[in-house]
Structure 1
Amino acid sequence: MNQQINSSTNDSNEAPTTLIEVARVAGVSPSTVSRILNGTAKVSEDKRQAVMDAIAKTNFAPNQMAQGLKKGKSMTIGIVVQDISSPFFDETLHGVDDALKGTGYASVIVSGHWNAAEEIERIRLLIARKVDGIILLSGRITDESVLKFSQHRPIVSTGRAIHTDKALGFKLDNEHGAWLAVRHLIELGHRRIAFITGPANNCDAAERLTGYTRALREADIPFDQKLVVEGDFHESSGMRAVNHLFESQQQFTAICAANDLSAYGARLSLYRKGIRVPEDISLVGFDDLPGSSYTTPPLTTVKQPLYEIGRVATKALLSIINGEHFDASIPPLELVVRETTKRMR
């Protein structure tokens, strides 16, 4: 049976180009064209180039879904994010999208809303839809659940330290990232440093709080619980945290927020109170979202390699699906100093 494809330039009334037509133009057999397309052919470079030239000449565009079904694959991967509207996940998804280009794979994106029960439901849905693998961007389900689901579909997850044949995790050193931020403020002479946390039951938030306390301890600065205000990683919680600090009459010269969105909210609250950043209060975030370069003033923050995480996670998942080895590594966290921090007078 001929393999049919759609030509990118053909009219809808024209018959699509076939693999046999490509083979005729290239002067090879249809099976050779097919094997070159799926990467299993051992042919000379001249023959391979002849097929590539024929593909270009005939505007041949292989039907990846048909190829996938023939191999027992759906040519789709599932992606579980926690908040589709968040710029944090948006930047990571850009990395996923770029890594999928030219692979023939498409993605199906669902949201877990930071709810373990919803994440489990979404993963089951993706498995039922026959995706070839799943990328889990952070989340609340346990490592045990991830390993259990990986028996049905390969899973690559961020925020976890797992490594099996069917499950791989990427975990950044959140504690060290927060330590970098607080240490920067300490080196600028700050001693009364407020900290806006993430949700109490979020492991990333807990690790960043540990980094904050470690930096204080190493500098012999007493920990003051009143300077720690719980947030939820959203802008509004940053505003509420700063309002709480002032309403409770806390004395502080700097704020470290557990993520950039909380820092944005904190900055707005300070602005509305007539407090200058960094002249009166220094401010540090965590993430280095694309918008952090364009705040007023540009935000000093800890850079997470969000795009690289998405790209590497995708390449790792495709390697697992194809039974290939992949040496996965992502850049470390780093402090990006901009204009919201200043040395104490």
Structure 2
Amino acid sequence: MTTIKDIAKLAGVSVATVSRVINDDPGVKEKSRDKVLQTIRETNYVPNTVGRNLRKSKSDMILVMLPTLSNPFYAKILKGIEERASELGYGVLVSVTHHEVKTEKKYLKMLEMKQVDGVITLFSTLSTEELNNLATKYPFVQGCEYTEGAQLPYVMIDNKKAAYEATKYFISHGHQRIGMISGSFYESSERGREQGYRDAILDAGLIFDKKYIVKSNYKPESGMEMCRALLSFSEPPTAILTVSDTLAIGAIKYLKSIGVAAGKEVEIIGFDNASITRVYDPTISTVSQPRYDLGRVSVDLVVEKINDIKVVNKGIILPHELILRESTHEDDE
């Protein structure tokens, strides 16, 4: 039976270093950590401190990885995750990757060390190949942001359909020049929403001009700047779709600064139905995502994989809703 001394000898490090790696001490040099983890994998060694009772042990914990804590969008998803996990007998660990590959990989080592039984990620920086390799060995689920081509379970809304419906609403109210404030980070959802916007315009027999799609960084200030850019065109848009509510807030704030009435002179639709959209002035029309349900379903998917890693991967699409408020014509509420 392999011991911690055997691991130390094979990896060419001290027993103390092996112990520190097992306990996820951040002070261990990356090169030494990688040697120890590789040796552990090759020898199938399971540390007593985290493995418990050989390899069949469970931690009864689920790791949830967020890209940031600054986005209120994730709050209801986390609530759904925590409540459903508790119902099924699991605890939840929440980590923040700050959009960094190195940080994401650091947390994923908890799977190897059996400190968690599965992972739910709400945004991953890993490549499709890396995700596929990971998902063949460990329970791994993507929520909201699915990586195209990844062979793993996921739950999300139909971003293309949602943006199509929002754009179609504008067109049905006579708008022929429609702008879009998109992003440059959440590739999967952004691509789907841009495609839905474009398809709605083309299906209506209007001219699609890619210059009306501008990119942002999701901060309200960026929404202001992108709205300013759109309205500087010789033929500015009379309606704007944004890929997040924070961008919609920024766009409306810019309109106010130049004396243009949002909802009357320029219509605005955001995305996500954040709580502030109901109390902002004007209240903001938005595409609502079932965030609480996204969280609950993601737990069901990862627990299914925990129970049987070979179970067929499921891709679940939840319904969205277009909610009309004052940032579109008030008489449509």
Would you call these one fold, judging by a TM-score over 0.5?
Answer: yes
Question: Within 5 Å, which residues of 2 pair with 1:96-175?
Answer: 96-125=81-110, 127-128=112-113, 130-158=115-143, 159-160=145-146, 167-175=152-160
- In structure 1, the residue corresponding to 2:92 is in which secondary structure? strand
Residue 334 (structure 1) aligns with:
321
SS at match of 1:87: coil
Q: 1:90 to 1:259 in 2, by over 3 A?
A: same
329 and 150 in structure 1: CA distance in 2 versus 1, 3 angstrom threshold: closer
Select the structure with the greater relative contact order (CA < 8 A; seq sep ≥ 6). Answer: 2
Which amino acid letter does the alignment assign opposite residue 81 of structure 2? V
Evaluate the alpha carbon distance shift between residue 168 and residue 201 of structure 1 in structure 2; reply closer, same or farther with a 3 A threshold: closer
Give the 3 Å change call, closer, same or farther, for CA 248–125 of structure 1 in structure 2: farther
CA contact (8 A) 1:189 1:343 kept: no
Which residue of the partner structure matches residue 167 of structure 2?
Answer: 182
Seen in structure 2, the aligned counterparts of structure 1 residues 196 and 205 have a Cα distance that, compared at 3 Å, is same
What is the TM-score of this pair, normalised by structure 2?
0.74
Unaligned runs of 5+ in 1: 1-67
Counterpart Cα distance in 1 of 2:159 and 2:233: 29
Instruction: Read off the aligned partner of 1:337 and give its amino acid letter.
Output: L
Shift in alpha-carbon separation, 1:343–1:191, aligned structure 2, 3 A: farther
The answer to whether residue 276 in structure 2 is matched with residue 276 in structure 1 is no
**Does the CA contact (< 8 Å) of 1:287 and 1:301 recur in 2?**
yes
Shift of 1:250: 4.5
Q: 1:230 to 1:329 in 2, by over 3 A?
A: closer
Q: For the residues of structure 1 that align with 2:319 and 2:252, how far apart are their CA atoms?
A: 27
Which residue of the other structure, out of 287, 292, 299, is the alignment partner of 1:302?
Answer: 287
Name which of 65, 72, 75 aligns with 1:80. Answer: 65
Name which of 197, 210, 214 aligns with 1:212: 197
Q: Distance in 2 between matches of 1:263 and 1:123?
A: 34
Distance 1:97 1:134 in 2: 13
- Equivalent pair of 2:129/2:150 in contact (CA under 8 Å): no
Q: State how far apart, in whole Å, the 1-side matches of 2:293 and 2:149 are.
A: 19
Q: What's the counterpart of residue 242 of structure 2?
A: 257
Contact 1:285 1:302 in 2 (8 A): yes
Q: TM-score by structure 1 length? A: 0.72
Residue 117 of structure 1, CA deviation: 4.1
Pair 1:199 & 2:184 matched:
yes
Instruction: Report if the CA contact (8 A) 1:254-1:282 is conserved.
Output: yes
1:64-119 deviations in whole A, cap 9, x for unaligned?
xxxx9567111111111111221112221111011122433221111222334432
Larger Rg: 1
Q: Is the 8 A contact 1:162 1:168 kept in 2?
A: no
Kindly provide the amino acid, as one letter, of the partner of residue 153 in structure 2: L
- Distance between the aligned counterparts of 2:271 and 2:113, measured in 1? 36
Q: Which residue of 2 aligns with 1:95?
A: 80
Residue identity over aligned pairs, in percent, reads 28
Alignment of 1:66-77 (within 5 A): 72-77=57-62
Aligned residue pairs total: 275
Q: Using the alignment, how far apart are the partners of 2:229 and 2:149 within structure 1? A: 39
Q: Is the 8 A contact 1:226 1:250 kept in 2?
A: no
Which of 320, 327, 333 in structure 1 is aligned with 2:305? Answer: 320
Contact 1:134 1:155 in 2 (8 A): yes
Q: Is the 8 A contact 2:132 2:150 kept in 1?
A: no
Secondary structure of the 1:92 match is helix
Distance 1:172-1:102 versus aligned 2 partners, 3 A rule? closer
Contact 1:177 1:208 in 2 (8 A): yes
The answer to whether the Cα contact below 8 Å between 1:79 and 1:108 also exists between their aligned partners in 2 is yes
| Alignment RMSD | 2.7
Deviation at 1:337, TM superposition (A): 1.7
- Paired residue type of 2:121: L
Conserved? CA contact 2:61–2:116, under 8 Å: yes
